[in-house]
Amino acid sequence: MKTYKVLALAIICLFLSIFEASASVGGDSLRADNRALRTRGAVEGLMRRNAPRLTFRPNEITPDSFSAWKAEMKDAMTRLMRHPDSQSEEPKMIKRVKRCGYTLEKWESYPLDSTVVPFLVLIPDGVDANNPAPAALCIPGFGQTKELLAGERNDNFNLEGEPDTTLIKNTMALDYVKAGIVAVAVDNPSFGELSDDGKADYIETSRFLLECDWSYLGLTSWQDRVILDWMKTQPEINPERIIVSGFSLGTEPLMVLGLLDDSIYAFVYNDFLCRTRERALTMDKPDQNGARPFPNSIEHLIPGFLLEFDFPDIVSTLAPRPVICTEGGMDRDFGIIEAAFSTAGAPENFEWHHYPMFADPSKRIQLEAMPSGIDRATFFRLANVDPPSHYFKSHLILPWLKKHLDKDGE
Amino acid sequence: MKTYKVLALAIICLFLSIFEASASVGGDSLRADNRALRTRGAVEGLMRRNAPRLTFRPNEITPDSFSAWKAEMKDAMTRLMRHPDSQSEEPKMIKRVKRCGYTLEKWESYPLDSTVVPFLVLIPDGVDANNPAPAALCIPGFGQTKELLAGERNDNFNLEGEPDTTLIKNTMALDYVKAGIVAVAVDNPSFGELSDDGKADYIETSRFLLECDWSYLGLTSWQDRVILDWMKTQPEINPERIIVSGFSLGTEPLMVLGLLDDSIYAFVYNDFLCRTRERALTMDKPDQNGARPFPNSIEHLIPGFLLEFDFPDIVSTLAPRPVICTEGGMDRDFGIIEAAFSTAGAPENFEWHHYPMFADPSKRIQLEAMPSGIDRATFFRLANVDPPSHYFKSHLILPWLKKHLDKDGE
């Protein structure tokens, strides 16, 4: 049974590879000069000809040159993110309530002039200035609020009443505080308390930011960075043990902060990992209307980002600091990141897990390159993604974190 | 009757101004510190605080400093458009057919590696190397093809059969050739012969371009520039009398070419004129779903463009060269452009017309600033726009062109 499935998948891939060859640069292969008549072919060709400048190539980067490569990556990310020089004001606490086993605080940060960005802080009982603890900056996914992460009702901005005990999954911050870790939960821009009168407006705000030569990820990572820097100053937090934990959309600011801030101790990457450039160039099968939309919306657009690097390159720069990836992807990419951790002298600090459905290696397809002309479902299948199983994987993360936090004389 | 209408509009404006005051930075006025909690308020505030650097201010720019300001504008546009250093190959003619009163040629240009961009050339009978004529580069609007402009069937890429005699409006190139002008008709990227297998894909291709740190307007203006440069080399064209004529979306590349290329003789701007930044900041009334979408799609997005200038500033830089605007806008903006032409010593070279519905000055509202919180219909009303009357205004343009082309010893 298993063998048949693998064989069937292999045949699909072969078919798709042939399709790709015949559909080069947007289906213009009928021209003898192989030029693209369709603008789609022209712009895909432009992206194909401009591979990321800083791609991590394990065979080319040695332990000696690894730091120099990381420095180049950091320079490029600094340039792309366009963070302001300073925040507008220091964060202030505005409310504190007691919960069972922890204290829940609401704070406000002021990352830009005329702007306020609230966040939640969950402090385990027994943790204080005399007994500081590790801390996790918890960044939610698309459509998630800081309140969900903290186990509160989604609209409980005043921290009134009881926590929402019906929540089972994705209470990232609550899971951490129960494990003795100070948890700081933030909102992504344009959602939850930061939404437009309750209306999520990721795309609208992204457009304004892009017009201003900034980006949704630039703003998000700046908001998160202000809060991360504040965390380092809090007496109940051990600044040597700050973790950044991102779910789904939240893995993007995680990567930015990781590359820009060497003081972060470890990273929890709770999403599947892929090459976003490869996805754009291959997930281009026409839909029922004949349209071939870009795979994601403009909250993911940072002009020029993909000319510099892609996600696996950035995760590679986090070496030798501990990283866990909890929802798989292509073994090809994990092999590259693994090589980076070996180059950095800490192979044991990178751990990854596939979705349960693809945990058995025989269920996974080994591809060196995605075939083009595929739809979202095929992309997910070939990238070993099981969308219904996309949630915060505490059961993998907490033991892994404990192992790393207990190291080095804790 | 008229007085009542004007009074009613004045009351609407007053109401809208009050609404604006109470709805500052995205409706967060309840906070005592006036900080925006909504990301929408934060990003609108960011745009408001970053006014265009090079806005034309009639009181500040003198005849002496006008050239220096234009040079700064040109530098900024050059940087924003990111045109390549050179085309891939020279254009080639691929077909020629005779039409009644003119010859119709199809050419191919090669603006980028691996890309082909066809265009049409309409040459009046009697025009040749011994008897060269003025020429117009004709750039269509959204959803229009070069074939429409030339009076051909939309899918007649092979120039077979007869022209489409059912077309009445928007046959810009045909109108020019009948007036004795060589007309060169181009497609905008992502539509017509450049579409994705017949599917318009402006947004999809724009996204790829933005990922590559380019833009739809950057590509469009580059494609048009290659063809404009080719026009200057054609023996049947008088290179001293090349006009750029843009309809609707086509006015954007018109402005780019005008600012980048001093050799263009005159400009036909067939759209209403507005400040696109002001539109984004005021046309933000929630729709029936509570959403406040940006007023246009990402084919209009050039990151950083609005930090430098807006449309009236660019049209102002075209002075002293002749410009006609055929579909109105706000008198405020025309006053500014008029001042630029006076500063450049050629007030007679700028002519503008309102939509027929607003030709009578008593029908127009005089505003110094648009009120915010308005919807598209209100914006159009306050900007004196009559959408059903949006078409190519040959009856205004041809006499105006004749007047200017006959000048200076023709």
| Facing residue for A37 by CB, picked from B45, B46, B193 | B193
* pLDDT beyond 60 at B9: no
Does residue A313 carry a pLDDT above 80?
A: yes
CB–CB of A42 and B204 under 8 A?
no
pLDDT at A4: 54
pLDDT band of residue A109 (cuts 50, 70, 90) is very high
- CA A299 to chain B, closest CA, distance in angstroms equals 12
Q: pLDDT at residue B18 above 60?
A: no
Interface test mutation site (partner A, options B142, B209, B211, B283, max chain A beta carbons within 10 A)? B211
How many Å apart are CA B371 and CA A142, to the nearest integer? 33
Task: Please tell me the predicted confidence (pLDDT) of residue B408.
Answer: 62
Tell me if B301 and A210 make a contact (CB, 8 A cut-off): yes
pLDDT at A9 (0 to 100): 52
Please report how many Cα atoms fall inside a 13 Å half-sphere around the Cα of residue A390, on the Cβ side: 18
- pLDDT for the residue A15: 47
Distances (CA, A) of A139 to A93, A194, A256, B276: 19, 14, 12, 34
Q: Return the bridge partners of B96, or none.
A: B105
Of B277, B251, B255, the closest CA to residue B264 belongs to: B255
Whole-structure pTM over 0.90, yes or no? Answer: yes
**Distance between alpha carbon A396 and the CA centroid of its chain, in Å?**
17
> How confident is the prediction for chain B on average, in pLDDT?
93
- For A328, the enclosing helix (H) or strand (E) is none
Q: What is the per-residue pLDDT across B376-399, written as a single tens digit (0 to 9) for each?
A: 999 999 999 999 999 999 999 999
Distance (Å) of CA A136 to CA A40, A58, A145, A245, A325: 43, 31, 16, 6, 16
The answer to whether B201 contacts A39, with C-beta atoms less than 8 Å apart, is: yes
State how far the Cα of A303 lies from the Cα of B277, in Å rounded to an integer: 20
Confidence of residue B28 (pLDDT cuts 50, 70, 90): low
Confidence of residue B168 (pLDDT cuts 50, 70, 90): confident
Say whether pLDDT at B20 is over 80: no
| Segment among A370-379, B158-167, B169-178, B232-241 with least mean pLDDT | B158-167
Q: Do the beta carbons of residue B50 and residue A209 sit within 8 Å?
A: no
Q: What is the mean pLDDT of chain A?
A: 93
> Is the model's pLDDT at A21 over the cut of 80?
no
Pairing of strands A89-99, A350-352: unpaired
Residues of B in contact with A277 (CB under 8 A): 211
Amino acid at A170: N
Q: What is the band of A370 on the pLDDT scale with cuts at 50, 70, 90?
A: very high
Contact A40 B205 (CB under 8 A): yes
| Tokens 């409706």 belong to residue | B27
The DSSP result for B265-306, as a single string, is -EEEEES-B--HHHHHHH-----TTS----SS-GGG--TTHH
pLDDT over threshold 50, residue B37: yes
The confidence score (pLDDT) of residue A23 equals 43
Amino acid of residue B149: L
pLDDT-based confidence at B86, cuts 50/70/90? very high
- The pLDDT of residue A31 is 87
Res. B251: pLDDT tops 70? yes
Tell me which of B25, B29, B112, B114 to substitute to probe the interface with A (most A C-beta atoms closer than 10 Å). B114
**End-to-end CA distance of chain B, in Å?**
49
pLDDT confidence band for A94 (50 / 70 / 90): very high
A66: helix, coil or strand? helix
Q: Which two tokens stand for residue A37?
A: 């008549």
pLDDT-based confidence at B4, cuts 50/70/90? Answer: low
User: At B64, is the secondary structure helix, strand, or coil?
Assistant: coil
Given a contact cutoff of 8 angstroms between Cβ atoms, the answer to whether A117 and A111 are in contact is yes
Convert the pLDDT of each residue in A161-207 to its tens digit: 999 989 889 999 999 999 999 999 999 999 999 999 999 999 999 99
pLDDT in tens, B116-130: 999 999 999 999 999
Q: What's the pLDDT tens digit per position in A218-240?
A: 999 999 999 999 999 999 999 99
Mean pLDDT of the B59-67 span:
94
Average pLDDT in the A286-310 region?
A: 97
For CA atoms B325, B330, B334, B337, the dihedral sign is negative
Closest residue by Cα to residue B127 from B263, B226, B241, B229: B241
Query: What's residue A37's pLDDT?
Result: 96
- pLDDT tens, residue by residue, A203-217: 999 999 999 999 999
Task: Flag if B291 and A42 touch (Cβ within 8 Å).
Answer: no
* Closest Cα in chain A, distance from residue B273 (Å): 19
Find the residue in A nearest to B189 (Cα): A39
- What's the confidence (pLDDT) of residue B407? 81
Provide the number of CB pairs (under 8 Å) joining chain A to chain B.
206
Burial of A216 (0-12, 13-18, 19+ CB in 10 A): buried
Contact A196 B290 (CB under 8 A): yes
What's the rounded mean pLDDT across residues A355-370?
96
- The pLDDT assigned to B178 comes to 98
Tell me, what's the pLDDT at A8? 53
CA angle A328, A331, A336 (to 5 degrees): 110
Q: How confident is the model at residue A5 (pLDDT cuts 50, 70, 90)?
A: low
| Higher per-residue pLDDT: A27 or B168 | B168
Pick the CATH number of B66-407 from 3.40.50.450, 3.40.50.1820, 3.70.10.10, 3.90.226.10: 3.40.50.1820
For residue B295, the chain A residue with the least C-alpha distance is A204
Taking CB atoms and an 8 Å cutoff, what residues of chain A touch B43?
A: 205, 208-209, 212, 219
CA–CA min distance B133, chain A (Å): 30
